[in-house]
Amino acid sequence: MLTIGIILLYISGWLLIRAVYRDASWMETVGFAFPIGLFVTTLLMWLADWMGLRLTPVLLLSLNVLMTVAGGWVCRHQLQRSLKEYRFHFTLNLNNLLWLLLLALVIYAEASNFLKTVYFPVYDRDSLAGFDTIGFIAAQEHTYRGMSIFDGDYMPQIHQAGSYISYMPMLQLSYAYVYILGAATSKLVPALFFAGFMLGFYGLMRRVTCATASIVGVLGMLMTPEMLSFSSLSNTNVVHACLASAGLLYVCQWYPSHRFEQLMLGCLLLAANCWMRAEGIIFVATALVLVALRGYGQFRQLGRKGIEWKLLLLPLAALLPTLLFQVYAQVEGLTSESILITRPFWDAVKFGDMCSGAWFLSITSTYYGWTFHLFLLVVVLNFILFKKGKATLYVAGALLLAFVLYFVLLYHINYIWDTLDHVMNFSAKRFLFCYVPIAWYYIVSNGIVGQLFHQLDSHINFRRTEV
Amino acid sequence: MEAILNERAVRLKIIIRTEVRTSRILSLLLQTKCDRMIFSNTTFKSMPRWVRLLLGNLGAVAVALVVLVAIEKTSDAYNWTWEKYVVKNLKVISPKLHVPLEGRLTSKLGADLGYLIFIRNTTPTNAVIYYPTMADFTTPPPDKEKSIFNGRLHEKLIAVRFLYPRRVVVESELGVTSWSKKLTHICIVNGHNRDMLPYQTEDDFYNGALPTDSLLMTPL
């Protein structure tokens, strides 16, 4: 039953991506099919639970079949055309030996990571005292909102600040999904999520740079020490990073190409990201700024009539999961003491601690390797030396804006359940995962490095480079 | 209008000129110098295309290997990632794929998990269990120097995960929740919490769960 459930998730995610972005490559489609399938399935599970339906294997599989049929109906013309034009052909595009070597390293490293992820059942504290246990109990009791661990008499601390009751439910419901379908451990979810992201991220980069540069980007991202080790755990940090970075990168790709489909897929991933973690709104805000900037550019070129205001609706729609969940939490009483300071304030000590924490995290190689060193180096090189490089600086700008917004949000959190020092010293090492793929995307595709890779590729590629 | 257009044309020309110059610099860096060294060499040029490609590829692979090994050797972070994480995990896990899930989990969580599994196996599914505190786990019994537990599984939700569907009650809830008034079992760890039982127990009973009703006691 679990195998059928996972296959249906992939098919529904695949169809949804095809419906949104017709020209998505097979790598992007397969890579992001699992997260998108999970996003829509968990959304439907949550709605069904809210309507009072029991979360049973029959219901979950029915929901998936329904999604697959609906997706197939939307994509029927595409599917018909594909079936008519289908001819079996297999070409092994080796690109070059360097690409092959790096690909082998990526496969080896990811195989090891995948094996570690699925070998060990959930053992990390955050998952056992949160995500995994919530998913497990939801599966046992066939409900989310009515779970015994959400009962104040059984868990009196449930409404305290920072309680798991107010967490966005995507990962918990994903775990419930696999447990309901008979899994002994939920580790398959993070394992498939991260492995798919490798593929999708490669496909994303292939749109803007050559094969060699793309595989360097994937290897660089994969080898980021803290991120790789965290990807084998069951908490939200890495899966959130996959969704946030992929979503924002699609919006960045839309920015110069102005292809509506890329913005659609980007916003879909950002919506999934908001369904995963509350701070997903930061990346939506960054996407909104990019869309607004584009609108301003149109205004300068074509005047008021040239602005497509409706485009702003897409990133705004990505906030819907957050808004819906807030309404649901208020209605169902699944709230906890707020930790957010909503008024503007100035605390020099806190600000100083934040800045030094952010600087330390970016500059130390222990957690993120040389990711941010290289990123800053290529930003400076492009800005000073290479005129053409400025054309890709909006990616770096998006990363920096999202980074600043993240720390603004952290500044507005009232650390009543933990000390700021403790958060900066122990938890903060996970905060920058979202920026790692974006940084590597920029490192390998920016003007100066992209040109260098292109030149190299043109000398050693067995086929002519397509980019 | 014309003046603006002229100004834009001049700007465009400057941009194009700069871009041409920069891309020429790059070409010089990559093509001309390399060409002079390798590719423009007459012997090299006279070789068939596939040989040239192969040599170029082998050269690129050799340079990449040197760079990768240098990074791995010089950076502690990347050295840890490759040696201690990627290679070691594969080496350690591959021969142990037959180990059952509980064994894999015990290898990570140690005696604390063994304790929880023991409690699960010795209590009925409808039990309401008093679960020990962190201090109970880490404070050794009077006649021992060190506790065998590290207390990492002391949190209520973690206990709920492993003991489900049994109900778990912790110290802070005693007298506060309705469940704390329905306790059926008390968890004894390192000999602590025996005083919570309404009857006397043996002094050497250190770890386990005992029913609050002595009539429900079963010999172990």
pLDDT, residue B63, reads: 92
Inspect the interface and report whether the beta carbons of B27 and A157 lie closer than 8 Å: no
Q: How far apart are CA A88 and CA A173, in angstroms?
A: 38
Q: What is the mean pLDDT of chain A?
A: 88
A345–chain B nearest CA distance, Å: 35
Find which of B157, B179, B182, B183 to mutate to test the A interface (most A CBs within 10 Å of its CB): B157
Question: A216: which residues sit within 8 A by CB, 6+ positions away?
Answer: A102, A444, A453
Q: Do A115 and B23 touch (CB under 8 A)?
A: no
Distance from CA of A337 to the nearest CA of B (A): 19
Q: Does some domain include residue A192?
A: yes
Say yes or no for a CB contact (<8 Å) between B85 and A96. Answer: no
Cα–Cα distances (Å) from B220 to A180, B119, B122, B193, B196, in that order, read 35, 12, 9, 19, 20
Contact B160 A184 (CB under 8 A): no
B56 closest CB neighbour out of A185, A370, A459: A459
Percent of chain A, pLDDT > 90?
Answer: 53
Nearest CA in chain A to B156: A129
Give me the mean pLDDT over the A109-122 stretch.
94
| Neighbour tally for A284: CB within 10 Å | 26
Q: Looking at residue A467, what is its pLDDT? A: 40
Contacts of B173 in chain A (CB under 8 A): 156
Contact at CB, B22 and A115, closer than 8 angstroms: no
Residue whose pair of structure tokens reads 């049973």 in the numeric block: A56
How many helices (H) does chain B have, and how many strands (E)? 9, 4
Please indicate whether, in this complex, the C-beta atoms of A365 and B75 are within 8 angstroms of each other.
yes
Decide if A137 touches B, using CB distance below 8 A. Answer: yes
Q: In chain A, which among 80-109 make CB contacts under 8 A with chain B? A: 96-98, 101-102, 105, 108-109
The pLDDT value recorded for residue B220 is 46
ipTM of the complex model:
0.86
Q: Residue B100: is its pLDDT beyond 70? A: yes
b/e A150-184 (16+ beta carbons within 10 angstroms → b): beeebbbebbeeebbbbbbbbbbbbbbbbbbbebe
Question: Is the residue at A24 inside a domain?
Answer: yes
Tell which wins on pLDDT, B138 or B17.
Answer: B138
Distance from CA of B198 to the nearest CA of A (A): 24
**pLDDT (0 to 100) of residue A253:** 92
Q: Per the CB < 8 Å rule, is B104 touching A121?
A: yes
In a domain, A91, yes or no: no
| Nearest residue in chain B measured CA to CA from A151 | B177
Is A456 in the B-facing interface, judged by CB distances under 8 Å? yes
A86 inside domain = no
A314-349 residue pLDDT tens: 999 999 999 999 999 999 888 888 888 888 888 888
Q: Do B161 and A136 touch (CB under 8 A)?
A: yes
Q: Which residue has the higher pLDDT, A167 or B8?
A: A167
pLDDT-derived band of residue A162, with 50, 70 and 90 as boundaries?
Answer: confident
Using the beta-carbon criterion (under 8 Å), do A156 and B94 form an inter-chain contact? no
C-beta atoms of A365 and B160 within 8 A: no
The answer to whether residue B120 scores a pLDDT higher than 80 is yes
List pLDDT tens digits, range A215-268.
Answer: 999 999 999 999 999 999 988 999 999 999 999 999 999 998 888 899 999 999
User: Quick check: B61 and A101 CB within 8 A?
Assistant: yes
Q: Is residue A303 part of a domain?
A: yes
Interface contact A462-B86, CB threshold 8 A = no
Q: What is the mean pLDDT of residues A380-405?
A: 82
Kindly state the average pLDDT of the residues B38-48: 64
- Inter-chain residue contact A98 with B60, CB threshold 8 Å: yes
Segment holding B169, helix H or strand E:
strand B167-169
- Count of C-beta atoms within a 10 Å radius of residue A335: 15
Is residue A26 scored above 90 in pLDDT? no
% of chain A beyond a pLDDT of 70: 94
Interface check for A119 against chain B (CB to CB < 8 A): the answer is yes
pLDDT at residue B27, rounded to an integer: 53
| Chain A contact set for B15 (CB, 8 A) | 387
pLDDT digits (tens, 9 = 90+) for B7-38: 666 665 555 555 555 555 555 555 545 555 55
The pLDDT tens digits of the residues spanning A138-149 come to 999 999 999 999
Say which residue, B42 or A270, is predicted with more confidence: A270
> Is residue A280 a contact partner of residue A240, using CB atoms and an 8 Å limit?
yes
- Averaged over A165-184, what is the pLDDT? 93
Going by pLDDT thresholds of 50, 70 and 90, the confidence category of residue B176 is confident
Domain limits for position A30: 2-74+97-460
Do B153 and B118 meet the contact criterion of CB atoms below 8 Å apart?
A: no
Ranking A92-96, A215-219, B39-43, B130-134 by mean pLDDT, the lowest is B39-43
CA distance A191 to A38: 13
Give the single-character DSSP code of A340.
Answer: B
Residue identified by tokens 């489609």 is: A29
User: What pLDDT, in 10s, does the model give residues A428-438?
Assistant: 788 889 999 99
- Residue A417 sits at the chain B interface (C-beta within 8 Å): no
What is the domain count for chain A? 1
Residue B117 C-alpha, separation from nearest chain A C-alpha, in angstroms: 14
- Is the confidence at residue A17, as pLDDT, over 50? yes
Beta strands at B208-211 and B185-188: parallel, antiparallel or unpaired: antiparallel
pLDDT surpassing 90 at residue A463: no
A80 within some domain: no
A149 touches chain B (CB under 8 A): yes
Contacts of B82 in chain A (CB under 8 A): 109, 223
Whether residue B57 and residue A129 make contact (CB cut-off 8 A), yes or no, is: no
**pLDDT tens for each residue of A283-321:** 999 999 999 988 888 887 777 776 777 888 999 999 999
Of A140, A365, A370, nearest to B165 by CB-CB distance is A140
pLDDT of residue A341: 84
